[in-house]
Amino acid sequence: MIKTINVNKSYRGSVHALRDVSIDIAKGEFVFLVGPSGSGKSTFIRLMLREETPTSGEIYVAGKNIGQLASWKVPMLRRNIGCVFQDFKLLPNKTVFENVGFALQVIGRSKDVIAKQVPEILDLVGLGSKSHHLPDELSGGEQQRVSIARAFVNRPQILLADEPTGNLDPATSVDIMKLLDRINRTGTTVLMATHDHAIVDAMRRRVIELEGGIVVRDQERGVYGYGAQV
């Protein structure tokens, strides 16, 4: 599902954000990307979204070599990738329903589709009763659920999460992880960048550790039946 071959990314020729990164993530895997700040986690996520292109090396996402992807095809790539961030990135003047529906609206889905899919996904994330609230009427955990609902409403094959629990207390973080786990069980590949060791230890999933842009550890931990071979 995600495969990188000898990917290097350097800025202005001198700052090496990623060095020789080769990773292979199968469909349906749940992978933690860990490492201290500045280790290259965010750069890796941006490369997956093709917000940036690698300095050298190849990146395959959902079977496509995205290093060579024409820029007009990038939106189609992103429709296969859901994205969740530490700061939620919700629109403050839109309701929960509108925030989630917006993701469908802007890729040209009809009102009927939106009216059907948004309540479904809000039920899935447990916010069915709050669809007419504005984001700042919700708790941080609830806001992150909205953001996950928005990322997943289009049923992408891949879910990228960049520090999704970074702003949340431990109890709320566990709820969010349960939700991501549920999404993973539907066959969605989940790649989560984090430096929350408690969560990583508790989840016991594959861990890829970056340090100074280099992969220093790639460890399978407790790969169950729904893992690599799906």
Partner 1 sequence: MPGIKVDYAVRETVTNMRRNVLMAVAAVLVVAVSLFLVGGVLLVTRALNRVVDVQTHKVEVGVFLIRDITPEDKESLQRDLLAMPEVDRVIYESKQEAYEHFKILFKDSPDIVANVTPDSLPESFHVKLKKPSEFSIVRDRLANRPGIDKIRDQREFLKRFFRVVQAVRAFGIALMVVFAFAAAILIATTIRMAIYARRKEIAIMKLVGATNWFIRIPFMMEGILQGVVGAIVAVGLLLAVRPFVSGIFHVFQFLGVTVSIKEILLQTFLLMAIGIGIGGLGSLLGLRRYLEV
* Residues between 8 and 47 with contacts to partner 1, criterion CB under 8 A: none
From 4, 43, 117, 154, residue interacting with partner 1 (rule: CB under 8 A): 154
Q: Minimum distance from CB of 148 to partner 1 (Å)?
A: 13
Q: 83 — alpha (psi -120 to 50), left (phi > 0) or beta?
A: beta
Q: Minimum distance from CB of 156 to partner 1 (Å)?
A: 9
Provide the CA 116 distance to its chain's centre, in angstroms. 24
* Residues between 46 and 65 with contacts to partner 1, criterion CB under 8 A: 49-51
Q: Which residues contact 44 (CB under 8 A, 6 or more apart)?
A: 18, 21, 33, 193, 210
* Residues between 91 and 150 with contacts to partner 1, criterion CB under 8 A: 91, 93, 95, 102-103, 106-108, 132-134, 137, 150
**What is the C-alpha to C-alpha distance for residues 126 and 132, in angstroms, rounded to an integer?**
14
Q: Minimum distance from CB of 203 to partner 1 (Å)?
A: 25
87 scored as a contact of partner 1 (CB under 8 A): no
76 scored as a contact of partner 1 (CB under 8 A): yes
C-beta of 144 vs 203, nearer to partner 1? 144
CA 126 vs CA 30, 123, 136, 168, 175: distances in Å: 22, 5, 17, 17, 11
Q: 141 — alpha (psi -120 to 50), left (phi > 0) or beta?
A: alpha
Beta-bridge partner residues of 51 = none
Q: Minimum distance from CB of 204 to partner 1 (Å)?
A: 30
4 scored as a contact of partner 1 (CB under 8 A): no
**Which residues of the chain form contacts with partner 1 (CB under 8 A)?**
49-51, 71-72, 74-79, 83, 89, 91, 93, 95, 102-103, 106-108, 132-134, 137, 150-151, 154
